[in-house]
Structure formats: structure tokens, C-alpha cells
A and B are shown apart, each in its own frame.
Chain A
Amino acid sequence: MVELFVYGIVLGSIISLGAIGLTLIYGILRFANFAHGDLMTAGAYVALFMVTGPFSWLGIPDHTFGALSFGWRMLLALPVSMVAVGGLGLLFDRIVFRKLRLKGSGVVILAMASLGASFIIRMLVLILWGADYRFYRPGLLRPALELPLGVKIRPDQILILLMVSFLVSVLHLFLQKTKMGKAMRATADNMDLARISGIDTERVIIWTWMIGGALAAAGGILYGIDVQLHAGMGWNFLLPLFAAAILGTIGNMYGALVGGLVIGVAQQVSTAFLLPTYKPAVAFMIMILILIIRPQGIFGGSHS
């Protein structure tokens, strides 16, 4: 059980990365981005492409760092993929979402467009890489470390936790200390008010997509390192992401972080008495419970 709890924290930290981006987009652009899971998929596959493609042609050494399952190539692929997926989100915003915003389409139409975007991304992944399961390093033995209480954990998983902590800390500093961070929080609070106080809301939107996309890409890559890559992986993350964002109150980044960890732990612990394939359903049940008991989430005031 302790072991499942630890694995749940690892899974939950990955969910958190997706949920933070989802909740930022939800808070600032005001629509449910159903393409967010597939942005995670896109991130994982862009990294796969970089690792097996350009970085191997450039002759970047292939050896791994100590007991970890990846090396320089992956370390370089991570930021490249984060920027690329941030750009992908932004591209969809320019081609689709911005046009709909300017036409004054409702949030539901934007959400539907994001559903379309999610299928477009998934189909592109399927066309380019096919439907098979992929690994960053096929056939690699991944020994686990023994921790107290009989917990086995792989070095990769410790690195995942460190990486998520790092990214979340950077985001925290960005939101609290920089002018753009402040502008983003103000826009999430009230877009019209932010605009008349002289905040360039279009720039805020650009930053929102870049951050949301980059975090989603990181989440997808870390999941790919921990488990495997599959074109449907992001879709399976969609319910946990929404459950985490709603649990932690829509628009609240710290709430999404906590929500992600809670959902991850619940999903892993549930495998002790349910089939592992039911994990998305577990996230869904928790979400329904929150919607019944406290629809504004744990960090929401009663006014919302």
C-alpha cells in the first residue's frame, strides 16, 4: 500500500503538470480545453522524434546518466519539445480559437473546437508514428532501488519528482515575481478589468498557451520515461486532468497541483482492488463526487 502511494505521487505529479496548464487555460481563456491531454501526447512524441532523429544524426552521445534510463539526448529533447508544444497550442489559438474569440463564440463552441483540435493532434501522431506502443529506450532493464517500508522505486521516478518540483517552482516564481505573471493572475481574475488597466491581454494569452503547452509536453515526456508512449495516452489523461483541475478549483494553479497528486494517489491505490484499466473511471468517480459535494473545488470560495 505504501508502495502504491509512492507510485501514486509519481503519477500524480505528472497529472499535475497537465492539470496546471489546463486550469491556467480554463481560468484565462474561459473554456475547457479538451485538447490538453493530446498536447501531452504531442510532447512525448516530439521528444521521441528528437531523440531518435536529429540528436542521433548530430552525434550526441547515447549513453545514459548512471542508473537513469536516459542521457544527454533526452535532456536536450525536453526543452525543445516543451517549446514546440507551446508553439503548437499557440498555433491552434491563432488558426482556430482566436478567430472564434473575435467572433464572440460561446465557451461551448470553443470547447468543441478544442475537441476537434484533440482529434487532429491524435490523428497526426497516428499518421506519423502509428498505433504501436513505443519506448524511448526499448529493451532497457530498469532496476529499482529498495527504500524503507519495502518500497521499490526506480531512479527515473525519483528524477520525475525532482523535475516536476523544479518546473512547478519556476512557474511559481514566474507568476509571483514577474510582471507577466502578475498580468496573468489579473487576467484570470477578470479579463475586462485587466484590459482596461492596460494589460495587453493578447500577450497574456500567448504566454498562457506557451506555459500550458510546455508543461503538458513535460508531463507527456515524463510519462513516456516512466511507462511508455501511445497515441491514446493523452486521451486517457483527460479525465484525471479535469478531475484534478476541478478538485483544486478551476483557475487555481496550486489547487491543480494538489488535485493532481490526490487523483494520482487515488488512481494507483485503487489498483489494489480494481483492475488497473479502471484508472480513468476512478478519476471520473472522484470528479462526480466533487461536483456533488463541492463543485467550486477545495480552494474555491462560496461565491463561485
Chain B
Amino acid sequence: MELSGILAYLVSLAVMAGIYAVFCLGLNIQWGYTGLFNIGIAGFFCVGAYTTALITTPKPTGLYAQYVQQVIGLDLPFIVGILGAALVCGVIAFLIGIPTLKLREDYLAIATIGIAETIRLIFNNEHALANGPRGLMGLPQPLQGLVDPRHYNYIYLTIVVIIMVVIYLLSERAIRSPWGRVLRAIREDEISAAMSGKDIFKFKMQSLVFGSMIMGIGGALYAHYTKAISPDVFTPLYGTFIIWVMLMAGGSGNNKGAILGAYSIWGIWIGTKFLTNLLPVTLKARAPYIRFLLIGILLEIILIYRPKGLLGEEKKVSKFLD
């Protein structure tokens, strides 16, 4: 492979890792700072991606309409799609939070698994909604005419990095505010936070909704990157599990760790692909399973031997202390 080919490969790797970093930042708000156990990330991933697809593509007409069904097609710009994805995910998070946030912490986990599976089933079976299992394609990409299509990924990488940095700065700002301190107080000791007069339910709900909106943005960024989406992408493996491993590896409760985790685990994930290419042909068909097995084992090792992850949490976050 020549140099420009390698560079193009690295750019595509950086785009995907950047999108995963957005998810990690969203999960970090929920888990890292508030202790909310959301294992239905794939659901928000899916809704974010489909929402922007329905907002930014035109409704099919003529012959094309016989092959592609979608409930709406607004043909609006990329930025509207991103905001719409965040909004819809926020609403869903709010609805799921109502019955679960007042209960034991692990009930939220079970409920979020349920919502993720249900969302995937709906997109798979309701053909009129978004074309069923075949999914939607032809999503527009922003600033497409600007450069040669071969080099477009550089533009998209810039967009992803800008959005990632904005979310990072917003999240850092929020976590260093009194609001962020309440979230951490709830995570450490719910009862004493409640005794200090904080409305636990309200703060947990805000954290859940805020984090899920970020996940929606991640889903939308993914959809515009691949330009084609179908329900089978949003499985618990690619949509939830790997994001958890990233955050745990990088360091939950640390936004820099969330980004570091996304890039390093995605690097490892891609790296194992080259390793499994060395396997004998008979095993090659099952190589993805071997790679996921290794990721699963990695999670257990992190949980047992390095629960704080690579960076660990910054204990002092106030700018008035040092």
C-alpha cells in the first residue's frame, strides 16, 4: 500500500474512533459522573442515525418509492439532522427514565437493554417507517462539493473532531459547575445527596437525557459517515458493548479518558483484524468472534485489575482549588 493509501486508512480509522469518542462522552455523563448504568446505547445509536436519515433525505418518489419506503423525508441540511437526532434521543431517554430512575440502579440497565432491543425490532419489522431490514441509504454529506470525493474523509474528520471537542468542552464546563458536583454527589452517596436537599430524580433525569442526546449526535455522525444504515448495524456488540469497554479502559469519570479510551480500543479492535488475517483459512470466517472474545476478556481484566482505567477520575474539578 502506498503512503496516501495508508493515510486514507488512518483518516477513516480516526473518523470512526472520533464518533465512538462522542458516544463515550455521552456515556461518561451518565455512568462516569452520575453512576447510571445504561446498557442500551445501541438504541440511542439507532434512533440518532435513523432520525437524521429521515430528516436529511428526500421522500422517495416515482419508481424509487416502490423500493424504498420511509415515513417522512424532509430533505433538510445536515445540522438539522444532528439536532433532530439529539432531540428525539432526549425524549426517549426522558420516557425511559420516568419508570426506572426511582428504582434500584440495576433496573435501569435492564430497561435500557429492553428499549434497545425493542427499537431494533421496530426498525426491522415496520417497513413503512424506514424501509425495514434493508434500511436507508444515500444520506447527504455536508460540504461535499468542496474537495475531490476521494479526499472527502478529511473534511468529515474535521467535522467530527470539531463536534467532539465542542461536546468535550461543554461536558467539562458542566461537570465543573455546581450541577456537575451534584451528579457526583449522587453517584457517591444518593442518600446524603438527598439529605442535602437535592432532588435526586430530577438530576438523574437531566444526566440521562443530556447523555442520551450526545449519543443521538454520535448516531447521526455515524449515519452521515457511512451514508447507509440498516437495523442490523445497531447490535449490542457494536452499539453498546464496545463503547462500555472504551469508557472503562480510558477511565470513567474523566472526559479525556473517554476520548483516549475510544481511540485506543478502536485502534486495538482494528489491529486485531490484521492479526486474525494471519489465521488459517478455516478459522478466518470466525475471526470476528475471536476478536470480540478478546474484547470481552479485556473488559474483565480492566474491571478486576484496573477499574479506574488508564487515566482515572480527576478528584478535584473546581478551578478554585489546586
Closest to A129 in B: B286
Instruction: Kindly list chain A residues whose C-beta atoms are within 8 Å of the C-beta of B106.
Output: 31-32, 107-108, 111
Interface residues of B in 80-132 (CB under 8 A from A): 99-100, 103, 105-107, 109-111, 113-115, 117-118, 121-122, 124-125
Q: Contact at A284–B117, with CB atoms within 8 Å?
A: yes
Q: Contact at B293–A127, with CB atoms within 8 Å?
A: yes
Interface residues of B in 281-313 (CB under 8 A from A): 285-286, 289-290, 292-293, 295-297, 299-300, 303-304, 307
Judged by a CB distance under 8 angstroms, whether B241 is at the interface is: yes
Judged by a CB distance under 8 angstroms, whether B249 is at the interface is: no
Q: Contact at B299–A281, with CB atoms within 8 Å?
A: no
A209 to chain B, nearest CB (A): 17
Classify the interface of chain B: helix, strand, loop or mixed: helix
Q: Contact at A113–B303, with CB atoms within 8 Å?
A: yes
A214 to chain B, nearest CB (A): 23
Instruction: Kindly list chain B residues whose C-beta atoms are within 8 Å of the C-beta of A246.
Output: 107, 110
Size bracket, chain A contacts: 35 or more
Judged by a CB distance under 8 angstroms, whether A78 is at the interface is: no
B42 to chain A, nearest CB (A): 12
Q: Contact at A112–B303, with CB atoms within 8 Å?
A: yes
A237 to chain B, nearest CB (A): 12
Closest to B118 in A: A281
Instruction: Kindly list chain A residues whose C-beta atoms are within 8 Å of the C-beta of B285.
Output: 130
Instruction: Kindly list chain A residues whose C-beta atoms are within 8 Å of the C-beta of B115.
Output: 284
Q: How far is the CA of A222 from the CA of B122 in the complex (A)?
A: 29
Q: Contact at A99–B304, with CB atoms within 8 Å?
A: yes
Size bracket, chain B contacts: 35 or more
Q: Beyond A116-B296, A126-B289, A127-B293, is A278–B117 a contact (Cβ under 8 Å)?
A: no
Q: Contact at B303–A109, with CB atoms within 8 Å?
A: yes
Q: How far is the CA of A287 from the CA of B107 in the complex (A)?
A: 10
Q: Which of A83-91, A172-180, A185-193, A288-296 is found at the contact surface with chain B? A: A288-296
User: 9 smallest A-B Cβ distances: which pairs?
Assistant: A284-B114, A123-B293, A126-B289, A116-B299, A120-B296, A119-B296, A281-B118, A32-B106, A292-B99
A-B contact pairs, 26 of them (CB 8 A): A32-B106, A34-B39, A96-B300, A103-B304, A105-B303, A108-B105, A112-B244, A113-B300, A116-B297, A117-B296, A117-B300, A119-B241, A119-B292, A120-B296, A120-B300, A123-B292, A124-B293, A130-B286, A246-B107, A281-B117, A284-B114, A284-B118, A288-B114, A291-B99, A291-B100, A295-B103
4 further interface pairs, Cβ-Cβ under 8 Å (given A107-B105, A277-B125): A34-B109, A109-B307, A120-B293, A287-B110
